Amino acid sequence: MLLESRGTMVGLSNPDLEAEHSPLVAACRTLLDDLSVGTSRLRPGRRADHRHYDYVDRLDLLAGTLRVALDLITLNEYPSAFAVLRSGLEHHLIDRLIFLANRLHYRYTVPRGGVMAEEARLRLLQATTRPDILRWKVKKREFAVIISGIHETGRVGKPPTISPYWYMSDQYDPFTGKRQHQSRLARQFVAPRFLRRAADEARELWRSRFAPRR
């Protein structure tokens, strides 16, 4: 995928800010211009993956967040700008997982007495159909298995890979809420047991993938 050039972004103006921090302001606007790529600037080459368009959408969202922060700074609304920048930082950290992550931990517990059998199963998978299994650790009956991301069909164990978090970011719903709050949330007309199940799934996905215990 190739990116075509685009003109410079133009936002609000503050003469004092421009005079005191002109290199910084110029750098900010250049960054905004680079982030605001837009899907119209993508030119499919020999291949065009759906995830590339998702990446561009996330870049546009981040550019919008940073543009608002710069406008607030231009208006001398620094506390509000810092609050917006916190969201931009969190967005950037998730983007690093979605764009660049090439390792994933799977944690699970086997039944009592099943550790040796599970290690034998993992060794067999690693030697045959799952060379993407890199290594694993065992603590009592809990396994921590590390794989090398999602591979293209026929290239298991070989680059390039797709970050597993690209899929998980769509699966996770940050607005689900806690299980005990489902009866007080304004949600669609769904039986409470399904809402509680969705809350449990969101909580488990967050704990196991986005905020795993060490």
Strand partners, 105: 146
Strand partners, 142: 109, 139
Looking at mean pLDDT, say which of 19-23, 121-125, 195-199 comes out highest. Answer: 121-125
- C-alpha radius of gyration, the chain, whole number: 23
Mean pLDDT of 93-111: 86
pLDDT higher at 204 or 111: 111
Distances 147 to 21, 133, 167, 173 between C-alpha atoms, Å: 46, 4, 15, 24
Structure tokens at 176: 């689900």
For the 101-171 domain, the top CATH level (class) is: alpha beta
Structure tokens at 205: 């996905």
27-83: per-residue pLDDT in tens? 888 888 877 766 556 665 555 567 777 888 888 888 889 889 888 888 888 899 999
140: left (phi over 0), alpha (psi -120 to 50) or beta: left
User: Where are the domain boundaries for CATH 3.30.1370 in the chain?
Assistant: 101-171
Mean pLDDT of 136-155: 84
173-186: per-residue pLDDT in tens? 878 888 888 877 76
DSSP single-letter state for residue 7: P
The whole-chain average pLDDT of the chain stands at 80
pLDDT higher at 92 or 162: 92
